[in-house]
Structure 1
Amino acid sequence: MKEMSWKTFVERKKTTDLVIIPSGAFEVYGPHLPLGTDTLVANKIAGLVAERVNAMIGPVLEAGESSELEDFPGTITISSESFKQYLWDTLRSLEKWGFKDFLFVNTHLGNVPIINQIAFEFQRTPGIRCAQIDYWRFIKAHCDGIIESGELAHAHASEAGTSVMMHLYPDLVDVSQWVNEPPKFNDLFPDVITYPPFSAFTNSGTIGNATIGTKEKGEALVNRSVDRIVQFLQESWYPAEAAVIR
Structure 2
Amino acid sequence: MQWMELTSDQLADARERADGVALIPVGSVERHGPHLPLGCDTLCAERIAARVAAIEPVVVLPVMAYTYVAQPMFQPGAIHIHSSLLLAFLTQVLDEVHRNGFGKIVLLHNHGGNIPMSQTILQHVLEEAKPYALYSIPPWAGVSLETVRETAEVGHACELETSLALALFPELVRMDLLGPQTYPAEAGLDVGAAQTPVDWIARYPNCATGRPQAASAEKGERLARLWVESVVETLRKVKRDTVVPAWMRRSREH
Scaled to the shorter chain, the TM-score interval is 0.7 to 0.9
Amino acid at match of 1:164: L
Deviation digits for residues 12-61 of structure 1, max 9, x if unmatched? 22322010001111100111100000111111111111222200011321
Q: Deviations over 1:137-156 (max 9, x none)?
A: x26x5122210112x12x22
Check the 8 A contact 2:27/2:110 in 1, yes or no: yes
What is the letter of the counterpart of residue 42 of structure 1?
A
In structure 2, which of residues 40, 65, 76 is the aligned counterpart of residue 73 of structure 1? 76
Tell me by how many angstroms 1:190 deviates.
5.0
Per-residue CA deviation, residues 96-119 of structure 1 (Å, 9 max, x unaligned), is 111011111111122222222222
Are the counterparts in 1 of residues 21 and 239 from structure 2 also a CA contact under 8 Å? no
Q: Is the contact between residue 28 and residue 75 of structure 1 (CA under 8 Å) also seen in structure 2?
A: yes
- Asked if the contact 1:41–1:107 (Cα under 8 Å) also holds between the matched residues in 2, the reply is yes
Aligned pair count?
A: 235
Determine helix, strand or coil for the equivalent of 1:102.
strand
Q: Secondary structure at the match of 1:180?
A: coil
Preserved CA contact (<8 Å) 1:159 1:209: yes
Structure 1 counterpart of 2:168, which letter? L
Gaps of 5+ in 1: 240-246
User: What TM-score do you get using the length of structure 2 for normalisation?
Assistant: 0.85
Counterparts of 2:173 and 2:115 in 1: how far apart (Å)? 26
Moved more, 52-61 or 141-150: 141-150
Q: Check whether the contact 1:18–1:99 (CA below 8 A) recurs between aligned residues.
A: yes
Aligned to 2:117: 114
Correspondence for 1:125: 130
Aligned to 2:185: 183
- Structure 1 residue 83, shift from structure 2 partner: 0.7
The secondary structure found in structure 1 opposite 2:25 is strand
Runs of 4 or more, structure 1, over 4 Å off, are none
Name the residue aligned to 2:168.
168
Amino acid at match of 2:139: Y
Task: Give the drift of 1:203.
Answer: 4.8
Please say if residues 84 and 115 of structure 1, whose CA atoms lie closer than 8 Å, have aligned partners that are also in contact.
no
* Structure 2 gap ranges (5+): 242-254
Asked if 1:4 corresponds to 2:9, the answer is no
- Superposed displacement of residue 234, structure 1: 2.3
The aligned counterpart of 1:244 is none
Which of the residues 22, 25, 32 maps onto 1:22?
25
- Are the structure 2 counterparts of residues 177 and 66 from structure 1 closer, same or farther at C-alpha, using a change threshold of 3 Å? same
1:134 counterpart letter in structure 2? P
- Cα 1:162–1:76 change in 2 (3 A) is same
Say whether 1:31 aligns with 2:34.
Answer: yes
Q: TM-score, normalised by structure 1?
A: 0.87
